[in-house]
Amino acid sequence: MNHVWQRAAGLALAVLLLAGCGRQPFVPDVPDDYRPVAVRDVEHFPQDLDWFAERAGNDVRLRDESRAAEDAARFRKLFYAAWDISRPGKGNADFFRAELARSGAARGYAENLQPWDGDRWQRMVLNADWSNFPSLRAAAVTVRATSLRLAPTALPRFERPSDPGEGYPFDMLQQTALPLGFPLMLLHRTLDGAWYYAESSLASGWVAAEDVALADETFQNAWRALPLAAFTRDGVPLNDRTGNWLAAANLGTVLPLAGDEGSALRVLTPVRDAEGRAVLVSARVDKSAAAAMPLPLTPRRVADVGASLMGQPYGWGGLNGDRDCSAMLRDLFTPFGVWLPRNSAAQARSGRFVDLTGGTPAARESRILAEGRPFATLLWLPGHIGLYVGEYQGQAAFFHNLWGLRTRDENGREGRHVLGRAVITSTRPGSELPSVPDNALLLNRMKGMTFVSYD
C-alpha cells in the first residue's frame, strides 16, 4: 500500500506543478515582423463596403444587359474548357517535370523548416512516374474544395523561411485552390494512385485522387444542360433530401441550378460513388447563400457579396481554404458571371487596361479617381491586385487581401509588417511608418487599372 500512496502523492504533486505552470502563460518568441502593427489606413478608412457602395450609387448598373449576357457566355465557355481538352496543353510536360527536377538546395525547406530530405524527395519523384506522362485522359470534377499542387504531396516547400515573403504561408508547391464542382481533365496518375495530374481552366497541377470523381459524357451533358447557380458566401452546407451531408460550398463555387423554390434554390452537387464516378445529388440552398447567375453588377450587389470577405485571413494560393489577392477578386466576381483568371498579372490583362506608369504617384492617383469606376475597376502592381471602391477624403479606396507591407530597418534589412487579411486602405498603406520606404508603397509600384466589365 505504501508504494500506491507514494505514486498517488507523486501524481498529486505533478498536478500541482502543472497547475502552477498553467498560471504562467507561454509567450512564444515571435519575430518582430509578425507582431501586430497598427496601420493608420485600417483604423481610419471605413472597413465597410456598403459605405462605399452607397456613395457609388448603390443600384446603378455597371454594365448593360447585352454585356452581362456576353460575360455569362464567356464564363460558361471557360468554366467547361477542361472537359473539352483534346490533348494536354502546350508545355504541360515541361511544367510537369520542372518542379520535380529540383535537386539539392533548390528543393528548399520542408515543413520542419529544414532542407528537404533528398531520399524523401526522390521517393516522391519515383511515385510521380514522370517517364510515362501523360498516361491517361479522363474528364473529372472536384467533389470538395481542394488544391492543385506542383508536386504530388500535401507537404510544403519553402524557399528560405528566414527571409521575408519566403517562409509560411508561401508554400511554393501550392498552385491554387479549386472549389467544389470544378471541371478537370486528368492526364496522369501516380504509381500509388493517390494523386492525379490535372488540367483545368485556371491552372494545371496535382490533385488528391480522393477529391475528384470521373465525369462521363452523360454526367457532363446533364450539367451543361442546366443554368448555373453561384454561392455568395462561405461554408454553406449541402445536404441531400434526407439530411445527409454531401459537401460544403464557398463563395466562388458554381453548381447546376435545378429549380427555384421561392426562398431557396435547388442545386445539383457532384458526389463520388463507390466506383469513383461522379453523380449529381440534389440539395436545397437558401437564397441568402446562393443566386442564379449572373447577378446584376451594381455597387450594392458587389458590396453585399464582398462583405463576407472583409477581414478574412490571407491564404497564399488558397492555402488552408483562405484567399490571396487574386483569389479574393476571382471569387468575388464569380456570382456576376465575370470570369477572372487566377493570378494578378493575368487579371490585369482580362479587361480594358489603362497604363498608369507615366507621371508622378500623385498624378497616378488623380487618374484613378477621375477615370476609375468604383466596384468595377482593378488596381494592379506586380504581384498584387485589388478593387477600387471609390474615394475617401480625397484618396482612392482600395479593397484588397494582402500579406504585409514591405519594410526596411536602419541596417537596410528587408522585412514585412504583416496584416494578413482583407482590408480597405488607401493606395499608400503604411506611409506613416518610418520603416516603410517610399519605393515600397503600393501606389508607387502601381502599373495599371483594369475595367472588369465595361459597356
- Asked if 40 and 175 sit in the same domain, the reply is no
Instruction: Give me the pLDDT at residue 434, please.
Output: 94
For residue 159, the tally of other CB atoms under 10 A from its CB is 15
Tell me how far apart the alpha carbons of residues 269 and 283 are, in angstroms, rounded to a whole number.
Answer: 7
Residues 304 and 435 in one domain: yes
Residue 331 lies in a domain: yes
Tell whether 415 is covered by a domain. yes
* pLDDT of 390 above 70: yes
440: CATH: 3.90.1720.10
User: Cell numbers of 435, please?
Assistant: 520603416
Once rounded to an integer, what is the mean pLDDT over residues 231-247? 97
Examine the domain organization and report whether 205 and 157 are in the same domain.
yes
Residue 9's pLDDT is: 42
Residues 115 and 250 reside in one and the same domain:
no
End position of a domain, from candidates 200, 219, 238:
219
Residue 383 neighbours by CB distance under 10 Å: 12
Identify the pLDDT of residue 36: 62
Has residue 207 got a pLDDT over 90?
yes
pTM exceeds cut of 0.75: yes
Amino acid (1-letter code) at residue 172:
M
Confidence of residue 455 (pLDDT cuts 50, 70, 90): low
Are 44 and 190 contained in the same domain? Answer: no
pLDDT of residue 31 exceeding 70: no
Q: Is residue 69 part of a domain?
A: no
- The answer on pLDDT for 22 being more than 80 is no
Find the largest Cα–Cα distance for the chain. Answer: 89
Residue 453 confidence (pLDDT) above 70: yes
Task: For residues 368 and 449, give the distance between their C-alpha atoms in angstroms, rounded to a whole number.
Answer: 8
Residue 331, phi then psi, degrees to nearest 5: -65, -35
pLDDT value of position 14? 40
Verify that 312 and 403 share a domain, yes or no: yes
Residues 166 and 246 in one domain: no
Task: Give 312-368 pLDDT, tens digit per residue.
Answer: 999 999 999 999 999 999 999 999 999 999 999 999 999 999 999 988 999 999 999
Question: CA neighbours within 13 Å on the CB side: how many for 25?
Answer: 3
Gyration radius of the chain over CA positions: 25
Query: What distance in Å separates the CA atoms of residue 422 and residue 429, rounded to the nearest whole number?
Result: 13
DSSP structure string for 333-354: HGGGT----SSHHHHHTSSEEE
Strand ranges inside 218-371, DSSP E: 228-231, 236-239, 245-249, 254-260, 264-272, 278-286, 290-292, 352-355
Q: How does residue 91 score in pLDDT terms, banded at 50, 70 and 90?
A: confident
Highest mean pLDDT among 31-40, 131-140, 164-173, 229-238: 229-238
Residue 87 vs residue 15, higher pLDDT: 87
Last residue of a domain, one of 235, 266, 292: 292
The region, left, alpha or beta by phi > 0 then psi within -120 to 50, assigned to residue 393 is: left
The answer to whether residue 14 is domain-embedded is: no
The tens digit of pLDDT for each residue in 36-63 reads 678 999 999 999 999 999 999 999 999 9
Count how many domains the chain has: 3
Domain containing residue 336: 33-63+297-451
Residue 452 has a CB neighbour count (10 Å cut-off) of 25
Flag whether pLDDT at 100 surpasses 70: yes
390 and 446: one domain?
Answer: yes
Q: What is the pLDDT of residue 7?
A: 40
Shared domain for 276 and 338, answered yes or no, is no
Residues 162 and 95 in one domain: yes
Number of H helices, E strands in the chain: 12, 20
Task: Give the list of residues 6+ apart from residue 221 with CB closer than 8 angstroms, or none.
Answer: none
Average pLDDT rounded to a whole number, residues 183-203: 97
Same domain, 161 and 196: yes
Please give the grid coordinates belonging to residue 117: 530530405
Contact yes or no for 175/154 (Cβ under 8 A): no
Q: What percent of the chain clears pLDDT 70, i.e. is strictly above it? A: 91
Helices (H), ranges, 90-132: 92-100, 118-128
Predicted confidence at residue 42, as pLDDT, reads 97
Amino acid letter, residue 407: T
Residue 102: pLDDT band (50, 70, 90) is very high
- Average the pLDDT over 148-169 and give the result: 94
- Name the pLDDT band for 94 (thresholds 50, 70, 90): confident
Q: Identify whether 11 is part of a domain.
A: no
| Whether the Cβ atoms of residue 384 and residue 326 lie closer than 8 Å to each other | no
Q: Is the pLDDT of residue 23 over 60?
A: no
Same domain, 343 and 397: yes
Percentage of the chain beyond pLDDT 90 is 85
Question: In whole angstroms, what is the distance from residue 251 CA to residue 402 CA?
Answer: 19
**Is 304 within the bounds of a domain?**
yes
Q: Greater confidence, 248 or 1? A: 248
CATH number of the domain that residue 255 is part of: 2.30.30.40
Choose between 244 and 24: higher pLDDT.
Answer: 244
Q: Which three cell numbers stand for residue 422?
A: 482583407
> What's the CA gap between 319 and 176, in Å, rounded?
8
Candidates 354, 455, 378, 380; CA nearest to 66 is 455
So what's the pLDDT on residue 41?
97
Which pLDDT score is estimated for 4?
A: 40
For range 277-301, the mean pLDDT: 98
Q: Is residue 75 a part of any domain in this protein?
A: no
| Distance between CA atoms of residues 291 and 67, nearest Å | 19
Those residues whose C-beta lies under 8 Å from the C-beta of residue 39, and which sit 6 or more positions away, are 405, 417, 419, 425, 429, 430, 433
Task: Evaluate whether residue 186 is within a structural domain.
Answer: yes
What distance in Å separates the CA atoms of residue 102 and residue 268, rounded to the nearest whole number? 42
Question: Domain end: 244, 261, 292, which one?
Answer: 292
pLDDT tens digits, 214-237: 999 999 999 999 999 999 999 999
**Can you give the pLDDT at residue 165?**
87
Rounded mean pLDDT of the chain?
92
Cell numbers for 443, please give them.
501606389
357 phi, psi to nearest 5 deg: -75, -20
